[in-house]
Amino acid sequence: MAENWYPIIDYSKCKGCLSCVEFCPNNVFKVENGKPIVANPANCVEFCRGCQKAACQYNAITYYQDHKNRRC
């Protein structure tokens, strides 16, 4: 369980391959209109980057903390 760690999908890059949905064992994603949505962010495991590194070939996945730590 992670309050401040969950994936954010960049839909301008997402191709809808659904590898991330198949990869994640924690039911974080659901599919809506052929694209993944982050339906259960609390299920994501803190500092896991599995779906980003192992599943998504399109650089479409970042994480909440990646954005929070940016200054602007």
Judged by CB under 6 A, which of 1, 3, 15, 42 binds ligand SF4?
15
One-letter amino acid for residue 14 of the chain:
C
Choose between 19 and 65: whose C-beta lies nearer to ligand SF4. 19
- Using DSSP, state whether 9 is helix, strand or coil: strand
Backbone angles phi, psi at 62, to 5 degrees: -125, -175
- In the complex with ligand SF4, the residue whose CB is nearer, 11 or 72, is 11
Q: Which residues bind ligand SF4 (CB under 6 A)?
A: 7, 9, 14-20, 23-24, 26, 28, 36, 44-45, 48-51, 55-56, 58, 60-61
